[in-house]
A and B are shown apart, each in its own frame.
Chain A
Amino acid sequence: QQPVQSPQAVILREGEDAVINCSSSKALYSVHWYRQKHGEAPVFLMILLKGGEQKGHDKISASFNEKKQQSSLYLTASQLSYSGTYFCGTNRNTDKLIFGTGTRLQVFP
């Protein structure tokens, strides 16, 4: 079952912040985050393992609340290069990585 991402789309001005959420109805072992530019392949951002982990990647960070089966991606002081579609992928300690439907982020000058 695909995780649910919200919002479906976000429009920002440069310098603004955004939060993208990912939730699952099943217990999770890990959560992945990827970004995809138009016409390109998805690119890895970060993985969070169960344990309430929080990670950062430049001005992009994420948290994972295993009890709530949720993860959030935080984009701070957004840049034009942040534009793209963000996908969360969830894993239940199996070999499968199941992706959400994506959140389209557009950053304007």
Chain B
Amino acid sequence: DAGITQSPRHKVTETGTPVTLRCHQTENHRYMYWYRQDPGHGLRLIHYSYGVKDTDKGEVSDGYSVSRSKTEDFLLTLESATSSQTSVYFCAISGGPAGEKLFFGSGTQLSVL
């Protein structure tokens, strides 16, 4: 199994609170992705990174920011959480552009009350 760890696994927070989710990999893969999963919507890309300090937006990036200061860590921040951001968040890693397979982390269940 690919070495990819998400933390926390579960989090409950209140509306308006900042939240940071962490994705850590031990594979030295260049590409890292954040997706959110909601019923009826499948997996939607939030942000991705193609190298240290190199990031770009996905389909649903509003309300989210990311940072990647080291190859192994990719952080997703909700500056001011809203109830619409209640979701399961998955991090994924890949050794190359999207022509190579993705390995997913176990996910973070985030509830915003």
Residue numbers of A with Cβ under 8 A of B are 2, 5, 29-30, 32, 34, 40-44, 47, 49, 87, 89, 91, 93-102
Q: Given that A95-B31, A95-B50 are known contacts, is A100 also in contact with B99, CB under 8 Å in the complex?
A: no
Q: Is A95 a contact partner of B98 (Cβ separation < 8 A)?
A: yes
Q: Is B42 a contact partner of A44 (Cβ separation < 8 A)?
A: no
* Alpha-carbon separation in the docked complex, A30 to B97 (Å): 11
B-side contacts of A102, CB under 8 Å: 42-43
Q: Is B101 a contact partner of A101 (Cβ separation < 8 A)?
A: no
Which residues between 22 and 45 of chain B lie within 8 Å of chain A, taking CB atoms?
Answer: 31, 33, 35, 40-45
Q: Is A97 a contact partner of B45 (Cβ separation < 8 A)?
A: yes
Q: Is B98 a contact partner of A96 (Cβ separation < 8 A)?
A: yes
Stretch with Cβ within 8 A of A (4 or more), from B11-19, B64-72, B78-86, B104-112: B104-112
Residue numbers of B with Cβ under 8 A of A are 31, 33, 35, 40-45, 48, 50, 56, 58-59, 90, 97-107
Indicate the member of A47, A95, A96 with the most B CB atoms within 10 Å.
A95
Q: Is B101 a contact partner of A96 (Cβ separation < 8 A)?
A: no
CB distance from B10 to the nearest CB of A (A): 12
Q: Is B99 a contact partner of A41 (Cβ separation < 8 A)?
A: no
Query: Which A residue sits closest to B57, measured CB to CB?
Result: A96
Can you add 20 more A-B contacts, CB < 8 Å, to A44-B103, A97-B45? Answer: A2-B59, A30-B98, A41-B90, A44-B102, A47-B99, A47-B100, A47-B101, A49-B99, A87-B43, A89-B98, A91-B97, A91-B98, A91-B99, A93-B99, A94-B97, A94-B98, A95-B98, A99-B35, A101-B41, A102-B43
Q: Is B97 a contact partner of A99 (Cβ separation < 8 A)?
A: no
Query: Which A residue sits closest to B38, measured CB to CB?
Result: A101
> Which of B40, B42, B101, B106 interacts with A87 by CB under 8 Å?
B42
9 tightest A-B contacts by CB? A91-B98, A41-B104, A101-B42, A99-B43, A97-B98, A44-B101, A102-B42, A30-B99, A99-B42
